[in-house]
A = this chain, B = another copy of it.
Amino acid sequence: MSVGIRHDDLRRRNRAMVIAAVRRAGQPSRTEIAATTGLSHSTISAISADLIGEGILAEGKPSDTGSLKRGRPQVGLGLNPEAAAVMTVVLSLNFLSVTVIDYAGQVISEEQRRLDTLTMSREALIGECVAIVRRRLDDPDIDVRSVARIALAIQGITDTDARAMLWSPITPQTDIAFADILEAEFGIPATMENDCNMMAVALRWRDPERYRDDFIAILLSHGIGMGLVLKGELFTGTHSSGGEFGHMIHRPGGALCRCGRRGCVEAYAGNYAIWRNAKQLGEDTEPVADVSDAQMRALAATARERDGPEREAYRKAGEALGYGLGSLFALIDPAPVAMVGVSAAAFDLIEPALREAIAQTAGGQHSKSISFDTEPNELPLIREGCAMRALTFVDQEIFAPGVPARAGSGKNVA
């Protein structure tokens, strides 16, 4: 079953640890690395000498801070930006966005493009993705050989192996093995990630204080998605990306959901559901394909202005989210929640009913202490998460080979 530790695994693991420490801390000295990793100074010295020799790390300028301390000044170690590059491909409704990022995390090339994802053929969708990647690789600023990994993100369900999109609301197509397709086309390792999981990864890098070991990122958009970090690891289903919070059942046999079933949380809290309730269309009405952000903002403005069906629609959304979170918290215990997406900007309309509902549940025992952050713009978050995910893959698989960075696992989030 689980395999014994060989002697040479040791060095590999400790190399990975040093790289991770540098990526987290920015410009730590060898002494600081020794402290955070718990390894001895001599070991850190040996490993960092290797990594510098290989061009993975680089010593920082000693001039940096006019160190006030006595003694030999610390010399900071940083990631060598030229050690590698990674590419992120984010596919969302009617929108395709690609960035190239150097090893230190700086964007060095990007391109964005509007598409009509809902009506495109399978071939056209794949073709657009391949073409945009090719254009970025052809960018004269980019050394193609340095691009070590591609991370794709898409709204919807992906498989645990991070190879394929299984189902997505942005296209009628299913089961597209994007990762395999890009790998075959460009010879660069690729993974296919779920957008909400990438949001969670990004939150962790942005604010490790708040989003450390256990937290939830919920996407309040046309659909409802979730990224979940538990005990420091990204939580995924056993076969798929999992965490389909939006399709937990809120009311058995209730409102019609975009997925074709009834009573899902999303069927009350997704943009289309809020829209449907605000327009008093009845719960059996077929969900509309898209509601623009502007329309949603207008809806929220109306709801704030006067009592009426708009306000009631947000109340119902809050209730569904609250009961859903309550059920979730019954399983995993409460944790900080980040609300992301256009409806997060209307969280003031959602929160009262949400808190009232959650207080009715087993998970809501300490409902007052549960805290919510809001972030209306999901795209930058998804891009950032993708970038960090791709970079940590490079850290672990390429620069510290032998330490398996399981695709589905979130081990490499940290």
- Which chain A residues have a beta carbon within 8 Å of chain B's beta carbons? 1-7, 10, 13-14, 17, 24, 36-39, 43, 213-214, 230-231, 237-240, 242-245, 247-253, 259, 261-264, 319, 323, 326-328, 330-333, 335, 357, 360-363, 414
Contact = CB atoms under 8 A, between A and B. Distances in A.
A14 B5 contact: yes
A150 to B, nearest CB: 26
* From A3, A17, A231, A362, residue with most partner B Cβ within 10 Å: A362
Contact of A231 (B10, B238, B327): B238
B238 A1 contact: no
A262 B360 contact: yes
A362 B261 contact: yes
Given A360-B253, A361-B261, A362-B259, A245 B1 contact: no
B248 A4 contact: no
Contacts of A252: 250-251, 319, 323, 357, 360
7 nearest A-B pairs in the assembled complex, by CB-CB distance: A247-B362, A237-B333, A4-B39, A248-B327, A3-B38, A4-B37, A244-B330
A300 B289 CA distance: 48
Contact of A331 (B5, B213, B243, B360): B243
13 contacts: A1-B36, A2-B17, A4-B13, A4-B39, A5-B13, A6-B38, A214-B238, A242-B333, A244-B330, A247-B363, A248-B362, A250-B252, A251-B251
Given A323-B249, A330-B244, A414 B10 contact: no
B331 A237 contact: yes
Nearest to A33: B4
A296 B4 CA distance: 49
Contacts of A360: 249, 252-253, 261-263
Given A238-B332, A248-B330, A249-B327, 13 more contacts: A4-B13, A4-B38, A4-B39, A5-B14, A6-B38, A213-B238, A230-B238, A242-B331, A244-B363, A245-B330, A247-B363, A248-B362, A261-B360
A38 B4 CA distance: 6
Number of copies: 2
A305 to B, nearest CB: 28
A1 B209 CA distance: 13
Contacts of A6: 38-39
A12 to B, nearest CB: 10
Given A7-B10, A259-B362, A262-B360, A248 B331 contact: yes
B3 A362 contact: no
Contacts of A328: 331
A245 B331 contact: yes
Contacts of A3: 37-38
Contacts of A214: 238
Contacts of A262: 360
Contacts of A24: 1
A137 B252 CA distance: 53
A259 B326 CA distance: 14
Nearest to A360: B261
A38 B357 CA distance: 52
Contacts of A323: 249, 252
A327 B243 CA distance: 10
Contacts of A319: 252
A207 to B, nearest CB: 15
A1 B38 CA distance: 9
A246 to B, nearest CB: 8
Contacts of A331: 237, 242-245, 248, 328, 331
Contacts of A237: 331-333
